[in-house]
A and B are shown apart, each in its own frame.
Chain A
Amino acid sequence: MTAHAAAVSIRQVSKTFGQGGTTALTGIDLEVQPGEFISLIGPSGCGKSTLLRVIGDLTEPTSGEALVGGKSAHQARLDRDYGMVFQEATLMDWRTIRKNVSLPLEMMGWDRVRRQERVRELLQLVELSGFEDHHPWQLSGGMQQRVAIARALSFSPSLMLMDEPFGALDEMTRDRMNIELLRIWEATRATVVFVTHSIAEAVFLSSRIVVMSARPGRVQRIVDVDLTYPRTNETREDPRFFELATEVRELLRESHGARETV
């Protein structure tokens, strides 16, 4: 492990489900530098979620390897090097918000006072102070997802893996959550790997966008997003924003067309 180890390094990763079954990923190579915000975008079936799960060691690649901070993905998971946010908030409905956020800390043996202090900080960060003693079902979908983000951030992982975290939210809430996520990202300086199928979301958030194509899932092109941070609502009206969104859209259309002709 060197000081310059990539945050995530994917080498020739392929994934096949079942014996001789569908090929979800084939020959993926990807390097993510520390502090980057990377989006994986592509049509359904392009394996973007599978790739994220390979990085998180929630599924094993059929061949190739995934390194996280220079370690194997498996070791990184055991060392709790990343925080994960899923499409559903996946909160424990029998726990209060406070106890949901502090669940990883409990597991790591933090004492009560430190946990309380950390939960206070985190809820402030995701702007949910005052909801400590609520139960998840008392919160809106967007608020629940912010709790999930706070939980993933609780133990200050250097990497965040986010699997369409705002996919279930309405567009206005999603736009607001995007701005909040960038604020949180800038505050924590964590590396983010973010799966989405919203082009606008990918362009708005990312420093680089990995455009994937389907059947079999592969990297079609990596688009550098040269919009400056911090990004605001004005960013969405920047001509460059439209150019980039158009570029991504055309890449996706190409990959879709390529599939149709197969």
Chain B
Amino acid sequence: MLKNLGIAAAVLGGLWAFYTGYRWLWMTTGWTRPFLVDDLTMPPLHEVVQRLWEPAATEQPALVRVLLEKAAFTAKEAFVGFALGAVIGFAIGVVFHFSGLMRRGFLPFVVGSQTVPILAIAPMVVIWLGGKGLPVWVPVAVIAAFLTFFPVAINTLRGLDSADPRKLELMRSLAASPWTTLWRVKFPSALPYLFSAFRVSATASVVGAIIGELPSSIQDGLGGAILNFAQYYSLDPSALWATNVVAAALGIAFFLTVVLVEKLVVRRAPEHVA
């Protein structure tokens, strides 16, 4: 874990150096391809970091404080969306595992659901669920769940199907019910598959939450902040960059949480550890 952190820090340093070097080279030579480099298109990274400690707007607290509050709001949407999507995806995977008919009938639609752009669905969800006395962020969580359920459904199915036939035969010899076999053999066998889905879904839920905020004009989250700073980009490019950094950090935090939980939950023979 520590070693991984060290590697990540080294890569971050490398990327920082690359960005700064690229910037310096293009600006001193005056190259304009593929695009002109100046403080507007590529603000210096130290300024982006500095910007975090400056007021978000006049008479406001530091940008980092504002962004962290917004990140917490988006995190709530993303987490609820992730949980909702995971439960729904798991249920779909279980149903598909047990019913070939359901699998053949509905799998194409589940796949198809993911080809619909999320931006096209978001406004509908906001209209369907808005003004029902629910908190404003609920439709956003549902949009996040729409992105999350898919990898979980597919990997649940694959994971349950992957159970060792010899273990299933053992369960049969013990006259186990389908339910017992599901929980005692198939589900534990599917856990590694589930967690790779959770890794994908964790980051997707953050993206879903940010995008979901756009059509619902929610100002409390990172999506609102991105929209807002995008409008003032020509005046204050570092603010948008800083917001993106926070959004990325949120996604990474979700991802790492899943990895951590996986380490605690999934026990495998050493040779099976990825």
Contact = CB atoms under 8 A, between A and B. Distances in A.
Main secondary structure of the interface of B (DSSP, over half): helix
The contact size tier of chain B is 20 to 34
Nearest to B172: A58
Q: Which of A58, A79, A92, A161 has most B Cβ within 10 Å?
A: A92
A84 B267 contact: no
B269 A135 contact: yes
Interface stretch (B21-29, B161-169, B242-250, B253-261): B161-169
A53 to B, nearest CB: 9
A183 interface: no
A172 interface: no
B173 interface: yes
Contact of A92 (B172, B173, B185): B185
B268 A90 contact: no
Nearest to B165: A90
A103 interface: yes
B176 interface: yes
A159 B206 CA distance: 56
A136 B271 CA distance: 13
Contacts, number: 52
A229 interface: no
A88 B59 CA distance: 71
B217 interface: no
Given A92-B185, A93-B268, A94-B268, A77 B175 contact: yes
A82 B268 contact: no
B176 A86 contact: no
B263 interface: no
Interface in A185-231: none
Contacts of A103: 174, 184
A86 B268 contact: no
A90 B173 CA distance: 12
B269 A90 contact: no
Interface string A78-119: 111011101010101110000000011011000000000000
Contacts of A161: 173
Interface string A134-163: 011100000000000000000000000100
Contacts of A82: 173
B269 to A, nearest CB: 4
B170 interface: yes
B169 to A, nearest CB: 6
